[in-house]
A and B are shown apart, each in its own frame.
Chain A
């Protein structure tokens, strides 16, 4: 499977008469976006606001972040099985508005969403402070069930992402990157002397309201499966879960999976990137046993020499992470784990809820319990009403002047456990 990803670099965002990209500026028609959000009768109000990198703006509570993309050539459309027809994606040509994002905000449940600061010390922890964000703040119909509202908000974000992405369809990209993984036998034959490497991608599927979706299928219903790496770049996976903000693998992060990107950088040079094993993080121990068995089976079947494993979340997923590590090792692969840490406020306790001696190579995405001071911002998109009950917040977190003291857990994707950020932790 071969995908050309055309990157259109966005350096500003403005409201405009029509939704379009011109000279690196994204113009959006406010009313068009509101209309898309309001198509769903579970949403009674939607507002659109812009937040630019470096501005004194705080966005809360953030639900998901979506990079606008569009299929230019090849089968299927962005987010197949969710907002477009089910069709295998990942080949042909796709354009991405790199540097622009759709940010959905609004209360879902009191504590699972997080904060994005566009400037100041909090901005260092989230990639979305460096981008030009179109914020969609939604309000649910009264009395609507939380699950239904979550779904409505998620779909609104994805639809707007695809709509805005469409503006890049006929724009000449600033850069085109080609990613290719061939069918197994051909791929193995292409670099016969390089170690065969796979990526075990653990999808959050505990059932917190909703889960992660692969072509529209709830990840907790899947048995581990194989995916060409480029499928993910066309939105084969979307985020619908509620998890601690710092851990959240947003839809943006699925589209821009850093492990896949960095494995491709060494593909054909130091390693032979065979593909992605998708698995889940269910709460039933029997499910964990079955899924990790199948992960081990894939590692053996594909003849992988090495694998990287990433997780989403804390606690329950740590057990899946360790089981996958054990079984992939047993199947003959060298294993590197990427995760974040929660060693408590004093930083002295065990960082993970589970451990195994096979986990001897681990990359840390930082300690989520560290406390950070976030000064007040001139403008708030959404509301700060829930700051104290968000994960990472506590009583007294929000001060009358609008400043916040909280654990960095409260910041969206601050310690995201797939290695997207540069934050890490070490022993002092």
Chain B
């Protein structure tokens, strides 16, 4: 049997091309292994061969997702791989998202198995763990030596169609795919065991964790809007032209507060959107579609609302972790309250 053909994806940094200053390099492909591919080659042993390595800068990927995906897919396809491996990305956020995005695209378009690797807090892990096998790594490349053999082993299993074991056995992040098996005890006996443990104050592990309920109880309705101050808050990525605070186009780590006092609407010469998750064309033309300053001014004039706060709060929602989003909210809510804002209109995209 001929060897299994593997294509490997890495970023500019791991390719040895350079750090942040080279993060904007477009996709390229090289024959054989590059950088961590060497470790991969030895882990794959004689069964498989890394036929090519594709390389792309992290910011190029993040800012040109569709183009990068198409270009990379074209390059990968030419080498007719049986298996695609991306990363591992460890804790590098943009690299993780890039690995996840391209791995998912390869799986869907080329219909071959894919494996990647990430640290559990990498934003790419949350985004793609349901779709992909992501080997869990530590938070730095120091874990490369341990991570690569797991990536290789799982990849080979997938190519050969062997049965993939549970997460802790294979080392991948829990995907949340509900899979059946026969337990040694029947359900009722496990239920009684569980109850007795709880009653004895012992810890138990539920067999089906409830979805995360981070629900916020709605406040009681406002009786009279005509007396109060309202603010606009968005996750639609509207920022002043030039994006002065460099808010990320996805997986945001910060938010911005921008003044629009004296303006009647958000004009396209002053505002833009940097959001990476929707077709920006219409919003670039008319930012009011996301931050509706124009109609809020009308309501202000008509006396429907008392007053509009003279600024808006903004971030990018796409890929942003719940933890970050929560922290943003906690931080800017304080300012809103201090400024006498009693109601907020949240716009998303």
B-binding residues in A (CB < 8 A): 124, 195, 197, 258-259, 261-263, 265-266, 270-271, 305-308, 334, 336, 338-339, 341, 343, 346-348, 350-352, 355-357, 359-367, 370, 408, 418-428
Contacts and interface: CB of A to CB of B under 8 A. Distances in A.
Interface of B: 130, 164, 166-167, 174-192, 194-196, 198-199, 204, 206-208, 210-211, 213
Nearest to B175: A428
Contacts of B185: 422
Contact of B187 (A270, A343, A408, A422): A422
A362 B208 contact: yes
Contact of A425 (B181, B190, B206): B181
A367 B195 contact: no
23 contacts: A197-B199, A259-B191, A262-B186, A270-B196, A271-B199, A305-B199, A334-B198, A336-B194, A341-B178, A350-B211, A351-B178, A351-B208, A361-B198, A366-B180, A408-B180, A419-B188, A422-B185, A424-B187, A426-B166, A426-B179, A428-B164, A428-B167, A428-B177
Contacts of A338: 187-188, 191
B179 A367 contact: yes
B175 to A, nearest CB: 6
A2 B130 CA distance: 52
Contacts of B179: 347, 367, 425-428
Contacts of B188: 258-259, 261-262, 308, 338, 363, 418-420
Contacts of A359: 210
A360 B187 contact: no
Nearest to A341: B178
B198 A424 contact: no
Given A306-B198, A348-B176, A419-B190, 13 more contacts: A270-B196, A271-B196, A308-B195, A348-B130, A361-B206, A418-B187, A422-B186, A424-B181, A424-B182, A424-B183, A425-B179, A425-B208, A427-B167
A348 B176 CA distance: 6
B184 A422 contact: yes
Contacts of A346: 177
Contacts of A306: 195, 198-199
A420 B187 contact: yes
B133 to A, nearest CB: 10
A427 B179 CA distance: 6
Nearest to A195: B199
A347 B183 contact: no
Given A336-B194, A426-B166, A421 B210 contact: no
